Structure 1
Amino acid sequence: MFTVEAPQISAPPAAGLRERAVSATGLAYLQIDRSGVIRDWNPAAEQIFGWTRDEAVGQRLTDLIIPAALRSAHSAGFARYLVNGESDMVGHPVEVPATHRNGSELRLSMTIDPLGEQGFFAFVTDRTDGHRAQLELQRSNTLINAILQHTTAIISAKDLDGNYLFVNGEYERVFQVTAVDMVGRSEADLLSAPAAAIGRTHDQDVAETGTAKTVLEEIPFGDEIRQYVVTRVPLTDPDGSVYGVCTIGIDDTGRRRSEATIADGERLFRATVDNAPGMLYQFRMETTGETSFTFVSNGSRDIYQVEPEEIIASGGNVLSTIAVEDLETYTASVLRSAETLEPWDWRGSVVRRDGSRRWLYGAARPHREPGGATVWDGMLLDRTRERHTELDLEAVRGDLADLVERLAVLSVTAPAGPTPAPALAALVAEKDQEALAALWQSAVRGERADGVLTDRLLVRLRPRSDQSISVSCFRLDDCA
């Protein structure tokens, strides 16, 4: 009779699993002891703050990532928690400012939890871009609100049932109502039945078709009939569904615009567009990927050496002029903007018919049409002169670097370690080693450092983005 023992299965060490999880997570993880010294720092933390784990561990958190203006308050709050265990920041997410290695400001979402006698740990998410976007959104909202409340057009928004959602200041003035009173009411509460019925018909038409509509409407004010040019625009949710109608009315009383007036306005618009710098355009991409230009200003002649009508008729073939080396970035930027509806932004070059190259900057804002097509309204600016200047500056910098190389007693690039580069230390007299160490530490912190030592040796240290330091030394007596 044989006895077979069951294999023994042992659980993997919990610490090993934890270390792998902390290293793999996209959240920054950091651990500090009860004296505020960093004891752990994962790859995501390196990415957010710019400090490697070896550089961060052993440093005080306050000195490394807390903004200088907040360090005293942070230290006081930390000490208070150690004494009485009370803190608004422990146990739940909080949004706090921080500092990147390069000195730039960060905005973080941080959740801190205690580790008993071992101190504390925190998971951190970078919210810097979102914070900036929120500030930009607030500015945009302020601008839009200022326009709405100070324009001479009467502006309102209604839901699909015809009930008011919003009226602006000019609407209040013209109809002698308040915005609060109008919310939830309809035009039938304000206008005569015939006028309200006409407006309701136009609203329904715009909501059903999903397209804007401009008409001339007559609105009675007592014994007076006033004419308004009224534009209705569908209000849509992010998914494209219509939830209401925005109405913009401009008083056109006494001056019914003739064909000549309209033609003058169109000529003025065309003159304004064609005198604008660069090329203004509207670009369209169908769901099938087919592209075309639906509007092009006369600036195409300067940029592409092509007439606007030719670009429109060719279905966008002007894109074939994009330089081969820039085509990949152009295609990727357009597809990304079409997918996310984020503003399009691109820098690249085109080769014109005569073989000359033009460097361009393009920017546009996209929107999605009900049928799924993506349309961009944008502009192209010729930055050839700017690019030539950049190339000239690069050449000058190269010449300067070459001159420095030839004049310098020492010119090397060394890792940003804790002590000066050996070649540099060997060049400096013993009495100047302490001064050299101070200069070196400034460069390690990311600061430009210059110093003249007692033996007339000029030391220039320049930190680089790859965690190294550019070293140049000159004998001032030789320069003289």
Structure 2
Amino acid sequence: MGALIAETEITQAMAKHVSKSITDAPQGLQVPQDLLCQTLDGVPTAIYIKDQEQRLRFVNQACYQLVGQPRQALTAATEADLLSPTIAQRLHSLDAQAWQGNGNPSPTTIVIPQTATADCKATRRTQLAADGQSLICYLEPVPSETESSLLEFSESWQRPQLQALLANVPAVIYQLRRSTQGDVQFAFVSPGAYEVFGLASDVILANVDQVLNRIHPLDRPHFDDTLLESAEALVAWRWEGRYLKPDGQVGWLQTVGRPQIWPTGEVIWDGLLMDVTSRKQVEAAAIEQAVMEQAIADNEIRFRTITETIPGALMQLRVLDSGYAIDFVSDRIQALTGLTPAVLMADAQTFLDRLHPRDSKRFQSTIHEAAQTLSPWKFEGRMVTLEGKTLWWRLDAMPVPQELGEVVFCGVLLDITERKLIEEAYRENERQLRMALKVAEMGVWTWDLATDQMAWTTEPGTLLGVHCRQLL
């Protein structure tokens, strides 16, 4: 049951292969057909394939054993030879719906007459092959009691072919039993258990707690809840959680099981369990990558907002042995220099060429001094635009030492032309006021009451003919 999906896929392929061989059987298809036959001969489910004339196109070893007939007796036989004419006639009527492609009929219970032993009761299920030319039939013995059925199931998995197959499957095929009291126990565990659990299958069969106690404490409640829900509603059991291996590693497990209830009230799950640690690691890495990318995107938005709204240009200027390099400069630099950031970052000399000739030497001396001492760099100077207009600018930057001895200054460059014009106008007004007072032989004084001091714009001696000390 745990390998039901795989059996169905293999049988579908076999049915398609057999159907094609009825009309044209190229020599190249002989090897795949043999492999499919060998594979289906190793599964415990009784399977046979028939065409619309009820002729048998394939019968696996489990089916021969179920009906109690040798393989030679059923060569070129029909379904009536395999089962009985009466049963075959009954099944022919029931299979009409399947042949028409209207879905698979419900499972049918039949009694198979056997010569060597007593008659066998079995459940027959059908499935129309993908090509529509063959009908796949499954026969499953109806168990007489739970324990004997479990024993037969366990013994069937001990066949050498299946043992070799299961040992190489990167998953665990299992049968889990839950009693009416709620106790669980494995009835079968495939050899792949060691790769997944880190425990041998016989250890797990002897004591299920060897597995249950290693489920991560945060995931154990979900394990119990989903198992109980599956048992009560008889719905597929699906669970995913962490598992603590004996070597201390934490792995992720995923299982899917199909429940059946036995006459005794016990629930049996036939299922498949896989180690999905690699997938979880990829998912976690993808989530981490997405978070990092989102954080980077958010930072880029913030940085772009800052560069677009700050009243100045952000700049990264690298001091090299042979000159300078502009690693970054924001768009506002164009209003000051008339050059785009791309032009300036491509060649830093274009920035130096815009410096006022009287400020160029002072620019280089101050930046080299700041680079040598790793101290903040402050500079005020003039910039000559491409149109010949002179602007004043100020740069405040902090040094960031690099691995190869280089220094990168990160700072903001501001246009201070308006401030400089105001300062110049203030100085000019002050100069003119002094000249006016001097010509008019007037003086202006202020008396600070807090300090009891007087301040004169013109020396008192010039106006009064006495020294200022004589007035105090």
TM-score, scaled relative to structure 1: 0.37
Q: Which structure ranks higher in relative contact order (CA pairs < 8 Å, sequence separation ≥ 6)?
A: 2
Length-normalised TM-score, structure 2: 0.37
Q: Which has the larger radius of gyration?
A: 2
